[in-house]
Amino acid sequence: MPESEIVQFDNVGLRYGTDREILSNISFTLFPGRFYFLTGASGAGKTSLLKLLYLAQRPSRGAIRMFGTDVITLPRERLPAYRRRMGVVFQDFRLVDHLSAFDNIALPLRVSGVREADLQGPVTDMLEWVGLGHRAESRPATLSGGEQQRVAIARAVIGRPDMLVADEPTGNVDPEMALKLIRLFEALNRLGTMVVVATHDVHLIRKVPDSLIMRLDKGTLADPTGALRYPPRRVEAGR
């Protein structure tokens, strides 16, 4: 796989146990610096596909390459190094309840061994970037849903990932906040991070006219090229 490609799925299938495949014959290529939407009805397999993307799940068959490496055969002890190159934003936030907004955002840096003396600047800058400089000491329970999601986004991108994956990040917020969150993703994308956002909100997709669209239908990509612009037209990201 050329170095310019971040992710490549080739004929990937996923099943749990002996049940039928949740994902079947999934093939696509994702390129750096692009903004992708993953769409599809509830139950289409979006979350399962994202789990494969952020290496929380291994496929039942097929090949997956990330950053030029076959990640299916990669020893488990080497997976954390690849996960550090990506950020993940969950719909249910997954913040640590007893930690402040500052400490939630700082958590990935602390885990990776950054010294306490070197945390203040980057975390404070990130809080300002998401508009929460005044809520640094607030715990999740005192934050609104939109504020919690912005903390989750800041935590996901504090390490300057090459790839950001977001699973229905606007599902628990009002339309105005949803647009603000998408604008944050766009700003990150302009800085060079490849972004993949799972959503069923077509109106939100229209707000990012240069985005590429991947549509899942009952576990398969509805368009075999894997990615379409909005309005749909073929682009080089497809296969």
Quick one: pLDDT band at residue 226, thresholds 50, 70, 90?
very low
Q: Is 36 within 8 Å of 196 (Cβ atoms)?
A: yes
The CATH homologous superfamily of the domain defined by 7-85+161-229: P-loop containing nucleotide triphosphate hydrolases (3.40.50.300)
Q: Which residues contact 193 (CB under 8 A, 6 or more apart)?
A: 87, 157, 160, 161, 162, 163, 164
Residue pLDDT, tens place only, 202-213? 888 989 988 889
Residue pLDDT, tens place only, 52-70? 999 999 999 999 999 999 9
Helices (H), 73-169: 79-83, 101-111, 120-129, 145-157
Q: Is 28 within 8 Å of 239 (Cβ atoms)?
A: yes
**Domain residue extents for the chain:** 7-85+161-229
Of the CA atoms within 13 Å of residue 79, those in its CB half-sphere come to 14
The whole-number pLDDT of residue 149 equals 92
Residue pLDDT, tens place only, 57-108? 999 999 999 999 999 998 888 888 888 899 999 988 999 999 999 999 999 9
Its pTM stands at 0.87
Of the two residues 223 and 80, the one the predictor is more confident about is: 80
Q: In percent, how much of the chain has pLDDT > 90?
A: 61
Q: In percent, how much of the chain has pLDDT > 70?
A: 92
Q: With 60 as the cut, is the pLDDT of residue 122 above it?
A: yes
